[in-house]
Amino acid sequence: MATVVKLTSQKKKDNKQSVSFKAIVRYKGVFLTKTFPVKGNQEKTTKKLAENWASDIESQIDDGTYRKEEKRHNYTVAEAINKYISEGNPKKDEDTRRKYIASLEWFKKEIGSLPIRTLERSDLKACRNKLQKKHKEVPIKGKAGMGKPTDEFISNSCVNRYLAYFSTFLSYCVDEYEIIKFNPMIGAKLKLKENEPRKRWLKELDERQTLLNACRLVNYELYLCVLMALTTGARKSEILNLTWKNTDLENKAIYFLNTKNGEDRTIPIPDVLYSELKAFQEQAKAKKIRRLKDNYLFMTPEGKQNAHLIDKLYPDVVSKWKYEKITFHGLRHTYISISSLLGTNQSITKKIVGHKFDSVTGGYTHADCESLREPMNHIAEYMINGTKPIIKSKTVSKKAK
């Protein structure tokens, strides 16, 4: 049986009370609501209107003539996408949802005017072919959603991702909105052959040493950034945001604040990194930089963080490197992989790199700095010099026997 609820709210402008009636239908698997605002002194009439609407819906359901509002409307692709996004879809984390929306906006631009019921595989194949000629874009700072096109085309895996996101949307139109009978992408064989996966980490010692040497020849600060990534597993943003105030050389500790997962963490500085940072600090003092403790470790002459080191200089070095290309984030993968290779306890690795996988394993705020010092030194030594840690075996004395 349908219910009608009276709603009241206070208007801020004239402090008057507005009244409306909300009709709620829960009947044979159908859930539907509609609000009827009261105009003037028509409360009884408006309430009756809401009751009649609810009764009419239930009659349509009994007769088998009820159709969802979406099914009665001949949606275009653009209208369906707008409805899908406005209702908070897809139900993903913010970063993934942003990628979905960006891909759907591209389809809306290309085929948005087509009625979604007439969408055919040939339309989708044409979209795929256009995507293959889509140029990569570099985000423009301060202009969300806008990018500057480059000369390079997007990869086949990126094309497949666009198609997968659009297919998810079409399936929603089938299952939830019921505005199309089937998803035209299913069985269309639109997926492209993807390139070989890029290298995610540097397993060999000579690879890591070659990279470090190449960076040092180009720029000493770039070398320090790469060394820090390889010996601490720190993220790019954490390295660039680091200030001298949060680099405690006296206690050999680094404080990473406002990290990606929202948790601050403290880690010890490995010995191989400490000596370089100490020398770097002496250089900075010699330059008589004002308020050294408040400045970024890696900064521009204007006092801003020097993102140019990683965003421009690092790719230039890697492109000329004789080994396979690896992203700066791949250095973080390298740290975690080497840590696992040396048999470091996974919970310790999580504390070092600041991962938060779930509520059980990721429920920490600060790492116990001293407890991490020995394993971090072991990982750093193996990372840079290939020296494996010596595990001291416990011997039992004759007296104990």
Q: Which pLDDT score, from 0 to 100, does residue 129 have?
A: 95
pLDDT of res. 383: 92
- Contact between 342 and 389 (Cβ < 8 Å): yes
pTM: 0.55
> In angstroms, what is the C-alpha Rg of the chain?
30
- On the 0-12 / 13-18 / 19+ scale of CB atoms within 10 A, 115 is middle
Q: What distance in Å separates the CA atoms of residue 140 and residue 23, rounded to the nearest whole number?
A: 47
222-244 pLDDT per residue, tens: 999 999 999 999 999 999 999 99
Question: Residue ranges of the chain with pLDDT lower than 50?
Answer: 358-367, 393-401
> Residue 321's pLDDT is what?
76
Residue 169: both structure tokens together:
């949307």
pLDDT at residue 168, rounded to an integer = 94
Specify whether the CB–CB gap between 291 and 280 falls below 8 A.
no
**Residue 216: closest CA among 204, 202, 226:** 226
Q: Are 81 and 107 in contact (CB under 8 A)?
A: yes
Q: Residue 201 has what pLDDT? A: 83
Check: CB of residue 8 under 8 Å from CB of residue 37.
Answer: no
